[in-house]
């Protein structure tokens, strides 16, 4: 065969219906798909985004209406096409998009019928994709339907009451309303979406003047902040790391111990996926949360996994949208991998936050809340010995010390009892019980009535003042440095100044 210089090519477009059916499987769920639609609204400067979930069995639908800039006919046409916008193009710094696919792929992951209507400069345009229609077409073309579908007209009326904005309508929700799916399932789905959006967009939703409000069926979503700022979290200073594609900012947080919250608060602070799952880095791109808790494949030696003992560690990481390729942002915007050049620095910061989080988790609040005016006298001490450790009762704890001093002939028996207790601490069982997190572990008088705490306090206080001859103020100061009384400042201060024998 003779080779010719002429380039031989053939035109090989994908079949529309097959291509779109394949794109449906990208791995979105309803909540992540909605987040992608909302990204577009935010990029279009919307301040109010209304989501409406209408239940009507297989005719159920979901509508997203924003008051953003809207699109004219040309822009709407571009917006509806797949592969129209080059992912390599530079984006405005506030833009939350990248691949030019989100509107379509997120929608198709949930529905077979997508209508987008937009209002700009007093005119309204509407274009639609209908997967059933495409699959029936004989020539595999990419046929966009024009205009609002007659029978759904009333769902678009709200566009008339805003000057500009965009309405996205998902109908034929075959991936949601599968056989056996009930209205209650639909309501639960709404709750899950609300939790997810409250988390993903919390930085847009919080503050005195929030940038946007999102309403679901008329009810405003409240932001969920992963870091419990102003609620007793420890935080590191913000560190800025220079990369080839802009500044990355990192700030570490250690959340307060479970004892510092009531059980409802604790449950809420855990987040949609719970405490253990939601530890690690929180990666934000233009304030929008991409990754809600991951160690990002970092580790000293091998990659860190999520463990109960590090559940209080959360690290905020801000990346610019100019670094998408470097961070390997995926189409769903749900994963991001740090570039090799900054991995060591991130690992070092994370290592420090993890160590602090582990200490707060293990030592209850005491690691952060030191005793007033000096180191805390703890009832239990951990003793390390060449690779092993054990727990010992501190003989200097006032309640133990005074007993041993006054024990006389009983001293040996008391020592024996302490040894038995120390040697039989049910470490494994406590570890399992708390790790499973089913029940709140009650220690340090948590949940006890003040009277019960007062009875114990009273005995120790009397001993210090009446038998050891300490002044009342000195005795109180010592109690405020003694576990677990450092947590009960008011009770300690209310102890009487004048004691009678």
Ligand X SMILES: Nc1ncnc2c1ncn2[C@@H]1O[C@H](COP(=O)(O)OP(=O)(O)O)[C@@H](O)[C@H]1O
The H or E element spanning position 48 is strand 48-54
Site string for ligand X, 32-51 (x = CB under 6 A): --------xx--x-------
CB 199 within 8 A of CB 283: no
Q: Is the CB of 75 or the CB of 458 nearer to ligand X?
A: 75
98 contacts ligand X (rule: CB under 6 A): yes
CA distance 437 to 416: 33
CA distance 188 to 123: 37
> Which residues, 134 to 173, sit near ligand X by CB under 6 A?
166
Its sign, for the CA torsion 480, 485, 487, 489, is: negative
Q: Please state the φ and ψ torsions of residue 119, each to the nearest 5 degrees.
A: -120, 125
Q: Is the CB of 97 or the CB of 293 nearer to Mg ion?
A: 97
Taking each helix axis as running N to C, give the angle between helix 183-200 and helix 30-43, from 0 to 180 degrees, rounded to the nearest 10: 50
484 contacts ligand X (rule: CB under 6 A): no
Q: Which residue is nearest to Mg ion (CB)?
A: 102
Among 68, 97, 256, 444, binds Mg ion (CB under 5 A): 97
Of 31-39, 72-80, 316-324, 457-465, the window that binds Mg ion (rule: CB under 5 A) is 31-39
Q: 59 Cβ partners below 8 Å, 6+ apart? A: 171
Q: Give me 241's structure tokens.
A: 């790391």
Q: Which of 163, 162, 160, 171 shows the shortest CA–CA distance to 116?
A: 171
99 contacts ligand X (rule: CB under 6 A): yes
Of 67-75, 265-273, 309-317, 376-384, the window that binds ligand X (rule: CB under 6 A) is 67-75
Among 48, 72, 100, 343, binds ligand X (CB under 6 A): 100
Among 35, 53, 68, 327, binds ligand X (CB under 6 A): 68
Q: Please state the φ and ψ torsions of residue 224, each to the nearest 5 degrees.
A: -115, 115
Among 17, 40, 378, 482, binds Mg ion (CB under 5 A): 40
102 contacts Mg ion (rule: CB under 5 A): yes
CA distance 145 to 112: 13
Q: Give me 433's structure tokens.
A: 């019980």
Provide, rounded to whole angstroms, the least separation between the CB of residue 337 and ligand X: 19
Cis preceding-peptide flag for 484 (omega within 30 of 0)? yes
Total residues contacting ligand X by CB under 6 A comes to: 18
30 binding partner (options ligand X, Mg ion, none; Cβ < 5 to 8 Å by kind): none
Residue ranges that bind ligand X, judged by CB under 6 A: 40-41, 44, 66, 68-69, 71, 79, 85, 97-104, 166
Residue ranges that bind Mg ion, judged by CB under 5 A: 39-40, 97, 102
């Amino acid at each position: 065969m003779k080779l010719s210089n002429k380039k031989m090519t053939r035109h090989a477009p994908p079949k529309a219906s097959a291509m779109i059916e394949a794109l449906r499987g990208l791995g979105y769920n309803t909540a992540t798909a909605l987040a992608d639609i909302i990204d577009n609204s935010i990029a279009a400067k919307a301040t109010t985004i209304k989501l409406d979930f209408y239940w009507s069995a297989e005719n159920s639908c979901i509508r997203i209406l924003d008051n953003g800039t809207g699109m004219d006919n040309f822009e709407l046409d571009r917006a509806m096409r797949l592969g129209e916008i080059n992912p390599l193009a530079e984006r405005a710094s506030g833009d939350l998009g990248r691949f030019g696919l989100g509107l379509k792929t997120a929608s198709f992951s949930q529905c077979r019928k997508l209508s987008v209507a937009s209002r700009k400069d007093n005119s309204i345009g509407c274009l639609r994709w209908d997967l059933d229609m495409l699959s029936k077409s004989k020539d595999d073309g990419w046929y966009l339907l024009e205009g609002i579908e007659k029978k759904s007209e009333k769902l678009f009326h709200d566009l008339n009451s805003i000057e500009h904005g965009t309405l996205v309508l998902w109908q034929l929700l075959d991936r949601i309303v599968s056989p056996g799916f009930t209205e209650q399932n639909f309501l639960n789905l709404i709750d899950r979406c609300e939790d997810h959006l409250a988390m993903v967009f919390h930085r847009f939703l919080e503050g005195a003047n929030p940038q946007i409000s999102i309403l679901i069926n008329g009810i405003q979503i409240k932001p969920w902040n992963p870091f419990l700022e102003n609620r007793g979290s420890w935080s590191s200073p913000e560190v800025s790391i220079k990369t080839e594609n802009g500044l990355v900012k990192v700030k570490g947080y250690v959340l307060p111990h479970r004892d510092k919250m009531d059980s409802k608060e604790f449950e809420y602070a855990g987040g949609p996926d719970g405490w253990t799952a939601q530890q690690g880095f929180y990666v934000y791109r233009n304030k929008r949360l991409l990754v809600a808790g991951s160690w990002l494949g970092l580790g000293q030696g091998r990659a860190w996994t999520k463990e109960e003992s590090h559940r209080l560690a959360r690290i905020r990481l801000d990346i610019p949208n100019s670094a998408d390729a470097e961070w390997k942002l995926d189409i769903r915007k749900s994963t991001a991998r740090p570039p090799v050049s900054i991995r060591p620095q991130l690992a070092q910061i994370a290592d420090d936050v993890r160590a602090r989080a582990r200490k707060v988790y293990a030592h209850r609040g005491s690691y952060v809340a030191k005793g007033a005016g000096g180191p805390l006298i703890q009832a239990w001490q951990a003793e390390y010995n060449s690779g092993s450790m054990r727990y010992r009762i501190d003989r200097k704890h006032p309640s133990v010390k005074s007993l041993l001093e006054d024990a006389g002939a009983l001293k040996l028996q008391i020592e024996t009892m302490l040894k038995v207790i120390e040697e039989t601490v049910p470490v494994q069982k406590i570890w399992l019980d708390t790790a499973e997190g089913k029940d709140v572990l009650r220690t340090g008088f948590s949940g006890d009535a003040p009277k019960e705490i007062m009875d114990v306090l009273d005995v120790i206080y009397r001993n210090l003042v009446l038998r050891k001859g300490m002044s009342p103020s000195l005795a109180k100061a010592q109690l405020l440095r003694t576990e677990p009384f450092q947590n009960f400042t008011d009770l300690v201060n209310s102890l009487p100044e004048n004691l009678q024998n």
